[in-house]
Structure formats: structure tokens, C-alpha cells
Amino acid sequence: MFKLNLKIALRNLWKNRTITAINVGGLAVALSAFILVMMYATYETSFDKENPNYDNIYVVGITYPEFKTYYTAAPFAKAIKQNFPEVESAGLVKEGSFELTIKNGKNTLFTNKILAADYNAAKILNINPNGGLIKPAGDVERLTYLSNESMKTLFPNKKDNKPEMVGFGASNSGITGIIAGSIKNNLHSNFTFDGVSIANELGKNDNYDMNDYTICVQVKPETQVVNLEQKITNLYQAELLKSKAGKRIDEVKGISTFLDPLSNLHLKPKAGNDAPYKTLIALSVLGVLILVIASINFTNLSIAQATKRAKEVGVKKVLGAYRFQLTTQFLVEIFMQCFAATILALILAELVLPNFNNLFQTHLSIWHINNGLYWQLPLILGVITLIAGIYPAMILSGFKPAVVLKGNFSTSKQSYWLRNGLLVFQFSVAVVFIIGLFIINSQLKYMSKEDLGFTANQVVYIKNISIFNDPIKFEPVREKILKIPGIKSATVATFIPGGINGINNYTANGIKANIDFVDVDFDYFETLEIKLKEGRLFSNEFKTDTINSAVINESAVAKYGIKNPIGQTIRGCNIDYKIIGVIKDFKTQGFETAIQPTIYTIKDPCGGYKTQIMLKIEESKMTEALANLKSQWSTINKLDGEDFRYQFLDELYGKLFKKQEQLQSIFFAAAILTIFIAILGLFAFAKYITNGRMKEIAVRKILGASDIQILKLLNTSFFAIVVIANLISWPLAYILTKKWLETFAYRIEMPILPFALSALITICLTVITVSIQAQKAVKSNPVDALKYE
């Protein structure tokens, strides 16, 4: 019996090979997209899961009235461990602030991220060097390990894991150190690195004014985290009141702490950007919708072909077949198609995977056992078979022999409404993605053309390890740089646009608030072409500029409510700064974050290191100037020596748009795939409808109907379906895109054109698809359809 059913299934699939190809092809395309989404979702939601204490690890954050941060004071880690028995361990982590050059003879390594961690943090975060984690001796010793990849760069022929002597900085710097061994850099972690420096204790001499570290805690199982969070807040407020920070009680009350689970850090950190989470949600919705649409196609076409299987079902029932047997037979046929689609989907996914990895900066592989496909695919195959096949199988197996064998069978009104309803759903989804794509494109176009308030073009950022906090130290470097033809200006600062600014507490006009700060040198504003609103900029002609002068932006003026800012005082870091100028706001953090109140100073004892060198270079002399800089860099900046590295500032700033560009690519793929699958289903459905109306078309032609009238007749019902789909999807698209636009501080107004274009595109595609299929019927000879009547 099974062999007979298999033959019938294969024969039926071959007989309807066009519909079968559409079903298998549509499912394969949808499944390939879904496979990629499943792999990406598995990857994104499993960061740090290799850590055996994954569920009990938290990062301690601080909530200020204006912002949240993971940067805290080093002494607080010890205080937490000493005061709360439910905390098993507490440790400190600190990321390196600049690129470090390491040399072994002619082999040079540029490390972008050296992670400093104390011994407790290394144990909490499962940082295990090759050969095991060793506790450094005393308070001074640090054990530095480089990643396996970095060690291969420095020591390509090294076979053991013994310590090695290396040089730091330029060849002539004379600075050496010991690399204790190698360590695997887990790229699937929130704490990635080129190397790790492990100490017995970090920040021993720091106080509560220095928020430079990240505190990681491991709590005991079954700990009430909410209660612990409140207790840590109370402790932190008490520590601030008795520390050298000298906080007042009313200030301390506005400060609290929070515990962020390790599982949150990658996708939706409490003190950070949740763009990765939104991207994952968008991708997941896309994958599910595309799979649902493909399943709808399958269901629609199976129901549409029901009449062709009616007599077969009637005969089998007369011969004694049970409904369960018939249902099983039809589900097996559907399973065969789904299985073939799955194989084809794996091939398509493998072909697309390199581009997918490049877009999302991942290293996914279909054949890696950790991606979960080995159990996800069989599950999805079974679910698709049931979703796409159970209703058609029940319809087919439920035919009444007495009716269908008389030839009076016709599909029910319920099936008719279901088919049309599913078509409406398909096109509704397609319309949402089309509208979303147009609006995302409009927002990105606005972001590329809108005035940023500064000029990143032709500005070159020089990577550097020299510290130029004193303007006198940078002046000879500036003079040498400006002698090179084509270089118009040079400056140095603690931060560059597109990066993270520092935050400190400043008081002006009787108001005390945390605002951003950037420590700069002369020509900072001129190099970036930042516009002055009133007053003046820093100048060598005024000696006080290097002592207590400050420039603030428009947002800072508004924050403090200063009416006439020039000449007024703003106090911070125990210095009374005199405001000499106000610059116009510029979008240093892109379009998603509102411009923050910011102060710019040359002298700032509480600031960071001025290492970020920026040069303004004439476009026509860019290549020549960079070549001269490279050849002369060892004499210009001796600490860097021969290691001249640079990046264009507009490329660095452009990374702020990376997630939005990814979202644009997602919606482009979604729009194309949903339209493609919907059109495939429409094509097959139109073929079925047209074939069923061949005699009606023949009679109409005999009675004088023109080709245009017949095409209009066949298009009318499909036209109505698309119009209804647009009307349903417009409100949904409006709500979704409006919420997305609201994530931007600076955005376009909701446009009307995308809604009209979506209707035009879907209507045109529908008319073209149906007309192509109907053309054969229109051009056929009426005699062929009526010769047996």
C-alpha cells in the first residue's frame, strides 16, 4: 500500500510539475532565509553562555539623573564583597584606551584592545590563559597574555607557551616587557580582547571620584537580585557621603545602582544601545513572516487543486480507504515537497552565507554543530509540513464519494474565502516591507545630506600613543606637521567625533549637572570646521586659555539657563573656568542621540589623555601629504617612531550608521523576498483560476467580448485583493515606521509618498502577473474549449 501511495504521489507531483516547482521553490527561498535567521539568532543570544556561572554574573552600573553608565569606582568592588554575603566574588575590568604597539624583531603587532582585569574578575568571566589561570604575586606584578592570533603574528614559529620578552612602542623607545603566554580570544563574548593583563588587585589607590572600572559580581544561586540591587544602592550612597568626593545628601539621593545580567550585555544593556536587539527582532520577524507566506502559498495552491484530486479520493473511499489513511497519504506528499525544499534551502543558504556574514560581521557556518541546525531543521520541517499541509489534507480527505463521482464537486465558499484571505495576508506583509524600505531609505538619505555641524571630510585621524595633555608638548609636533605641503591644520584631543565623550560634574548659574567634556588643543574647532555662535575660540594669543578658559556648546547654555554666557563662570574639577565662546551644536554622536551639553577645555586635571591627533588636509594633496607624514613620522613623533597609522574621520563617523544600514539591507531583502513569494503564489493561483474559466472565456469571446474586456474581467478580483491588502497594511506600516523613526533624535517627517508607491508597485505587479498568465486563455481558440459541449 505504501509503495502504491508513493507512486501515486510521485506521479501526481510530476503531472503538476509547474505547481510543484513553485511550491518547492517558494519554500526553499523562504527556508534559506529562515535558516540564516535561526543561525544568527542562536549566535546573538548565546554570548558568554560557555561561562559555567553565566546565570549568576552581573555587571554593576550607576544611574545618574542624566544617564546610566557601567563605569564605577574601583574601591566599590571590595566594599560590595565585604558587605554582602550573597556575593560570592567581585572583580574589576578596564579596557585599554589607546592602540598599543608590540614588537618582536621585525614582527609588529598593533593591539586595539588590551583588557586589564584583576584575578577575581578573570575567574568570574572565565578568562583562562593556555596553561591555566595563575594568580599574580604581590600588588605590582601583572601577567600579560596575548591572544593566540596575536602570538602567531609576533612569534610565527613558536611551539611552546613559555614567556617571551617583547618591545612596546617604537623600536627606539627602549620599553620592554614580558608576555606570560597566550590565551584564546573568545569572539563570542562581551569581553573580547587582543590581550589580557591580569593583576592581583586593580585601582588600589583610586577613590570614588575616579570612575574608570567595570565591576563584575558573581552572586550565589537563588539570590534575590532586586533586594541586592537596593542594598548595593544604599551602600554606594553611604560610600559617596564619606568619601573624598564630597557629595551632598541631595546629590547622592539622585544616584542609584543597578545590576545588569551578563545575558543582557550584548543585546539590550541597561546602559547602552539596544540596536543589536532591534536588529535581531527585525530579522526574526522577517524570517517568520517569509516562512508563513511560503506556507500560505503551499496551502492556497493545494486547496486550489483540490478538484483534480476529488475523483481519486471518491474512488479510494468507495474501495474502503479511511479518512486517516487519505490524510496520511496527502501529508506524505506534502512532506516530500518540504524535504526537497529543505535540501535546496541549505544549498541556497550556503551560497548566500558569505554576504550575510559580511553584512553582520559574523563568522557563521552551516556545518558548525553549535549553530543548533541539527535539531532546529527537523523540527521546522515537521512544523512546516503540518502548517502547510494539515488543512489541505483535511479538505481533500473529507470529500463525499457520492457527490464527487457524479462530477458535481466544487470547492466550498469557505475555501474560496480562505484562499483570498491568505492572498490578502501575503500582500499585506509585502506592502509593510515596501513602505518600511522606502522610509528607511528616506531617513538614511536625510542623515547623509543633513548638516552635521562639523566637517569630517579631508580630516585624517592619526593613531598615536604619545600623550599631549600639555599644549607646550604638542606645539613642536604641530609645527613639524604643518611644514608638510597640503596640511592646513593639526590638533589633538581626548575624543574624536563618533566616539564616547567623558562625563563630569560642572556648576554654572547655580545649577549643578553632569555634562560631557572634551579636552582639546588649539585649532580643534578650526580643524573640524565647527561653527562659532558667539565669543571666540581658543588662541595662542591668550595665555589664560591654557589655564582656565572654556568653550561650551548651545546645549550647555540651554542646560544651565545662561542668558549671556560670555565671561561667565562654569566650575568643574576644582577650577573656575571662564566661558570665552559658544559653539553651535554639532552631531558628535550621530542622529540617534540628542546633542549633549558639552564643555571644551585645554586644561582639565580630571580629564583623560590627549592622544587623538587630527589633521585637515587639502583633498588635492592628500596622497602626497600622507606619504610625507609616513616617511617623516619617526622624527615628528619619536614615541610612535616608524609606526604611522591613520584612518579617515568620515569613515570612523560613518560607523554610527552601520546598524541602520543593516536594517536597510534587511528590509530590502524582506521586500524582495515577500514580493517574489507572493507573486509566485499569485502566478500559480491565476493559472488555476484561468484554467477553470476557459469555457466561460470561450463563450464570452463568441458573444463578442474583446481581449481587453476579458483581461479586465480576470484582473478584477485580484485587483480588489491587492487594494484591500494595501488598506489593511497602511495603518500597521505607519505605526511600525513611526516607532522606528522615534528612535532618532533627528529625523524626517512621516512621508506620504511611500504609501502611494507601495500601492502602485503591488497593483502593477499583480496586473502584469495575472495578465501574463491569462494571455494564453485570451488567445486560445473558443472551439478547443467547447468542442465537447
Measured between alpha carbons, how far is 237 from 258 in angstroms, rounded to an integer? 13
pLDDT of 60 strictly over 60: yes
Which phi and psi angles does 107 have, rounded to 5°? Answer: -85, 125
What value does the mean pLDDT take over residues 79-107?
Answer: 88
pLDDT score for 278 = 81
Confidence at 616, pLDDT banded by 50, 70, 90: very high
Torsion of CA 23, 29, 31, 36, to 10 degrees: 180
Among candidate residues 290, 301, 285, 333, the one with its CA nearest the CA of residue 418: 301
Measured between alpha carbons, how far is 470 from 451 in angstroms, rounded to an integer? 33
Confidence at 170, pLDDT banded by 50, 70, 90: confident
pLDDT score for 251 = 72
pLDDT score for 603 = 92
Confidence at 82, pLDDT banded by 50, 70, 90: very high
**% of the chain beyond a pLDDT of 70:** 91
- Using CA atoms, how far residue 152 sits from 123, 144, 168, 178, 235, in Å, is 25, 16, 17, 16, 46
pLDDT score for 135 = 86
Containing 360, the helix (H) or strand (E) segment is helix 323-360
Amino acid, single-letter form, for residue 352: V
Q: How many CB atoms lie within 10 A of CB 466?
A: 18
Estimate the share of the chain in helix, then strand, then coil, as percent rounded to the nearest 5: 50, 20, 30
pLDDT score for 582 = 96
**% of the chain beyond a pLDDT of 90:** 32
Amino acid, single-letter form, for residue 477: V
The reported pTM is 0.81
pLDDT score for 690 = 76
**In this structure, are residues 528 and 520 in contact, taking their beta carbons and an 8 Å threshold?**
no
84-88, 315-319, 493-497, 512-516 — which is least confidently predicted? 315-319
pLDDT of 410 strictly over 60: no
Dump pLDDT digits (tens) for 487-517.
999 999 998 888 777 888 899 998 988 899 9
Q: Is the dihedral of CA 263, 86, 256, 203 positive or negative?
A: negative
What value does the mean pLDDT take over residues 644-672?
Answer: 83
pLDDT score for 309 = 65
Contacts 24+ apart (CB under 8 A), 662-669: 662/279, 662/359, 662/360, 663/278, 663/279, 663/282, 663/440, 664/437, 664/440, 664/441, 664/444, 665/359, 666/279, 666/282, 666/283, 666/286, 667/282, 667/433, 667/436, 667/437, 667/440, 668/437, 669/33, 669/286
Measured between alpha carbons, how far is 389 from 296 in angstroms, rounded to an integer? 10
pLDDT score for 476 = 93
**In this structure, are residues 360 and 277 in contact, taking their beta carbons and an 8 Å threshold?**
no
pLDDT score for 779 = 74
pLDDT score for 241 = 83
Confidence at 599, pLDDT banded by 50, 70, 90: very high
What value does the mean pLDDT take over residues 42-59?
Answer: 91
Dump pLDDT digits (tens) for 218-264.
999 988 999 999 999 999 988 888 775 556 676 778 889 999 999 99
206-210, 387-391, 784-788 — which is least confidently predicted? 784-788
What value does the mean pLDDT take over residues 170-186?
Answer: 82
pLDDT of 351 strictly over 80: yes
**In this structure, are residues 662 and 279 in contact, taking their beta carbons and an 8 Å threshold?**
yes
Could you give the angle at which helices 275-304 and 413-449 cross, rounded to 10 degrees?
A: 150
Confidence at 168, pLDDT banded by 50, 70, 90: confident
What value does the mean pLDDT take over residues 148-153?
Answer: 89
Identify which has the larger pLDDT, 9 or 199.
199
Q: How many CB atoms lie within 10 A of CB 586?
A: 21
Which phi and psi angles does 56 have, rounded to 5°? Answer: -115, 10
pLDDT score for 415 = 57
Confidence at 399, pLDDT banded by 50, 70, 90: low
What value does the mean pLDDT take over residues 406-415?
Answer: 52
What value does the mean pLDDT take over residues 32-50?
Answer: 89
pLDDT of 4 strictly over 70: no
pLDDT score for 675 = 83
23-32, 175-184, 352-361, 694-703 — which is least confidently predicted? 694-703
SS3 state at 166? strand
Average pLDDT, the chain: 84
